[in-house]
């Protein structure tokens, strides 16, 4: 009985493979790329440990060019790494649908602002944009300043000691900030890093990345039967239960609040992102509780790992470039004149050189190293006709290291972002927050958070690191991460 079954399976696999070559246009065989294998496609190119993914995708582009084709299973993907290709996709209102890789987030984020498309995305974007008005963002500054002070207090316990891993400390600070600003909830991640919610966020991101690169895990039915699938369901249950509980409690609190309501510390309560959503829901007629949850979950997901990555790498780059660090500190000394007061919006506007450092750090280690879109219509890219419904993998990690745009691209040089230099470059040669109609709605929030935290650290400490760039394996999960963290040592500034 097994022989005919095996024979049938082999015929199916062979037929699927041959179909790739029969449908040459759909599978873009006119675009340079490796020959796909039966069943796996080119998945074996990325079959190594997670830290080998970026080197593997770089080797693919080096061998076949910045416009290259590869298959994961039977699915064709187009990898692009040129400003012109990025502009074709990101600037178009027809190419706004996120790629196939994002569907594995659906159990967690449903169809919130990150993953939705079409009319739902347009209406949500219009609804949520006012939440990021500068007046509202200014209200969040107090939270960010307070959490940055806690972060510096933790660093002070490590001053004059051995090097330590700063990445989890920054991540917990970013998580405290996003929880309080997005949900109005204190979770004290900086004091309690073993919380169930914190662990579930990290595990979920890792599981999504594993699934994106493993075609054998794409089937929901098969995935549910695996140990990873069981772990995924547990994580999602923790994440959703936490958000549901916060929404329920916040709705009750809002019903009892007045304009003069105070928080636990006796200060006027700040309006959290969740509060704005609840008010816009109009009692469930505009947004249901499920709609509110998917947007809160989306901002929790997008709003802490991304900033944590950039802040960590900025601290590392400043620690390994003492002349740049000193120049930042001199700028901050001029702004604050020795005061330990909180930073305000006018202070942030004066941090010109620190701003250039953050941008250069994002160029080298952008928080989202890879994006993907599914083409909504046929599009020509670099002379190749790309059919509709093609998964386009946008390699911003390589785009930002193109030596034609950035000479000596691996060098940390904040002067690249002086006003004179930025005007000379292609407008789509630097897209750390994406670009076009689907650019990052939280860009101003992220920049504000990063300036406050980094400036707080530099006002209080000198940084040093002996860690070499080549000794930092990078994990290109949904968000870029240093596999083994980032080791720095600090001394107090006099």
The verdict on residue 379 lying in a domain is yes
What strands, in cross-sheet order, belong to the sheet with 487-492? Answer: 164-165, 487-492, 461-464
The verdict on residue 357 lying in a domain is yes
Q: Dump pLDDT digits (tens) for 29-60.
A: 899 999 988 878 888 998 888 899 999 999 99
What local confidence, expressed as pLDDT, does residue 258 receive?
Answer: 60
Residue 121 has pLDDT above 80, yes or no: yes
What local confidence, expressed as pLDDT, does residue 279 receive?
Answer: 85
Residue 328 labeled ligand binder? no
What local confidence, expressed as pLDDT, does residue 69 receive?
Answer: 95
Q: What does the angle CA 437 – CA 441 – CA 442 come to, to the nearest 5 degrees?
A: 155
Q: Dump pLDDT digits (tens) for 59-118.
A: 999 999 999 999 988 889 999 999 999 999 999 999 999 998 889 999 999 998 999 999
Domain range for 241 is 45-492
Q: What does the angle CA 399 – CA 400 – CA 403 come to, to the nearest 5 degrees?
A: 85
What local confidence, expressed as pLDDT, does residue 162 receive?
Answer: 97
Q: From CA 25, how far away is CA 20, in angstroms rounded?
A: 9
Task: Give the count of beta carbons closer than 10 Å to the beta carbon of residue 237.
Answer: 11
What local confidence, expressed as pLDDT, does residue 390 receive?
Answer: 94
Q: Dump pLDDT digits (tens) for 386-428.
A: 999 999 999 999 999 999 999 999 999 999 998 888 878 999 9
The verdict on residue 279 lying in a domain is yes
What local confidence, expressed as pLDDT, does residue 8 receive?
Answer: 66
Closest CA to 164 of 494, 491, 473: 491
CATH number where 262 lies: 1.10.630.10
The verdict on residue 5 lying in a domain is no
Q: Mean pLDDT throughout 329-338?
A: 96
Percent of the chain with pLDDT over 70: 94
The verdict on residue 188 lying in a domain is yes
CA dihedral for 12, 13, 18, 22, sign (positive or negative): positive
Lowest mean pLDDT, pick from 175-184, 349-358, 368-377: 175-184
Residue 186 has pLDDT above 60, yes or no: yes
What local confidence, expressed as pLDDT, does residue 421 receive?
Answer: 82
Q: How many domains does the chain have?
A: 1
Residue 308 has pLDDT above 80, yes or no: yes
Closest CA to 438 of 142, 128, 113, 220: 113
The verdict on residue 396 lying in a domain is yes
Query: pLDDT-derived band of residue 13, with 50, 70 and 90 as boundaries?
Result: low
The verdict on residue 154 lying in a domain is yes
* Residue whose structure tokens are 């709609």: 291
Of 124-133, 211-220, 296-305, 467-476, highest mean pLDDT: 467-476
The verdict on residue 3 lying in a domain is no
Q: Mean pLDDT throughout 137-143?
A: 89
Percent of the chain with pLDDT over 90: 60
CA dihedral for 338, 343, 347, 349, sign (positive or negative): positive
Query: pLDDT-derived band of residue 215, with 50, 70 and 90 as boundaries?
Result: confident
């Amino acid at each position: 009985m097994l022989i005919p079954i095996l024979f049938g399976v082999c015929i199916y696999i062979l037929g699927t493979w041959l179909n790739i070559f029969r449908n040459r246009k759909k599978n873009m065989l006119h675009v340079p790329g490796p020959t796909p294998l039966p069943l796996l496609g080119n998945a074996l190119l990325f079959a190594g440990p997670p830290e080998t993914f970026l080197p593997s995708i770089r080797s693919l582009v080096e061998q076949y060019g910045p416009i290259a084709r590869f298959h994961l299973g039977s699915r064709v993907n187009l990898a692009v790494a040129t400003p012109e290709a990025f502009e074709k996709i990101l600037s178009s209102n027809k190419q706004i649908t996120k790629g196939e890789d994002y569907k594995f987030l659906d159990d967690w984020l449903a169809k919130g602002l990150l993953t939705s498309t079409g009319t739902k995305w347009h209406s949500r974007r219009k609804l949520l944009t006012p939440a990021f008005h500068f007046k509202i963002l200014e209200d969040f500054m107090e939270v960010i300043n307070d959490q940055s002070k806690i972060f510096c207090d933790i660093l002070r316990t490590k001053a004059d000691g051995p090097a330590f891993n700063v990445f989890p400390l920054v991540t917990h600070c970013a998580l405290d900030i996003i929880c309080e600003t997005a949900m109005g909830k204190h979770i004290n991640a900086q004091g309690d890093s073993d919380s169930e919610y914190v662990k579930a966020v990290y595990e979920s991101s890792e599981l999504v990345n594993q699934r994106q690169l493993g075609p054998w895990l794409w089937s929901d039915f098969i995935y549910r039967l695996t140990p990873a699938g069981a772990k995924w369901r547990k994580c999602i249950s923790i994440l959703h239960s936490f958000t549901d509980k916060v929404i329920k409690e916040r709705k009750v609190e809002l019903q009892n609040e007045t304009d003069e309501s105070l928080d636990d510390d006796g200060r006027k309560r700040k309006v959290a992102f969740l509060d704005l959503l609840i008010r816009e829901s109009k009692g469930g007629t505009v947004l249901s509780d499920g709609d509110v949850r998917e947007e809160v979950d989306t901002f929790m997901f997008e709003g802490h790992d991304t900033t944590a990555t950039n802040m960590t790498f900025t601290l590392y780059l400043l620690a390994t470039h003492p002349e740049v660090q000193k120049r930042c500190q001199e700028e901050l000394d001029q702004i604050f004149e020795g005061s330990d007061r909180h930073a305000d919006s006018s202070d942030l506007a004066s941090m010109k050189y620190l701003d250039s450092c953050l941008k250069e750090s994002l160029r080298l280690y952008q928080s989202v190293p890879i994006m993907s879109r599914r083409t909504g219509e046929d599009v020509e890219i670099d002379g190749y006709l790309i059919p509709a419904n093609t998964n386009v993998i946008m390699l911003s990690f390589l785009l930002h290291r193109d030596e034609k745009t950035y000479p000596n691209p691996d060098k940390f040089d904040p002067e690249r972002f002086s006003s004179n230099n930025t005007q000379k470059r292609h407008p789509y040669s630097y897209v750390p927050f994406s670009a076009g109609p689907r650019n990052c709605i939280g860009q101003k929030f992220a920049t504000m958070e990063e300036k406050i935290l980094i400036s707080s650290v530099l006002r209080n400490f000198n940084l040093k690191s002996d860690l070499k760039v080549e000794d930092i394996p990078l994990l290109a999960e949904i968000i870029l991460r240093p596999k083994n963290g980032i080791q720095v040592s600090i001394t107090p500034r006099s």
